[in-house]
Amino acid sequence: MYFDRINSGYKAIIAGIISEFISAVFFYLYNKTIMQMSKYHSKLVITQNISLALKISESMPEQEKIKVQSLITRQLTRGINQYLASDSNE
């Protein structure tokens, strides 16, 4: 390759293009993975908040507990269809 400089230049260019393509694919897949982790983390936070609200309502007197749990249920199911629809489109 030392004496045939044009041929080695083409080989270097092709190797660079291939390595850049592989790098771009890895960055794209990494970005998709981070987006999915973010969605999963958001769902975990929502689940934790629901559990905390229900746990706090358990320590209330019976009449208040029923009202609070009913309110929590209404609030949680109010926009659930929009939330589920937006998750499936992404």
Residue boundaries of the structural domains of the chain = 5-89
User: Would the pLDDT of 32 be above 70?
Assistant: yes
User: Would the pLDDT of 84 be above 80?
Assistant: no
pTM > 0.85:
no
Question: What pLDDT is stored for residue 3 in this prediction?
Answer: 60
Question: What pLDDT is stored for residue 85 in this prediction?
Answer: 64
User: Would the pLDDT of 83 be above 90?
Assistant: no
**In this structure, what is the dihedral angle of CA atoms 69, 75, 77, 80, given to the nearest 10 degrees?**
-150
Q: Could you give the C-alpha distances from 84 to 21, 25, 39, in angstroms and in order?
A: 35, 29, 12
- Exposed (0-12), middle (13-18) or buried (19+): which is 76, by Cβ within 10 Å? middle
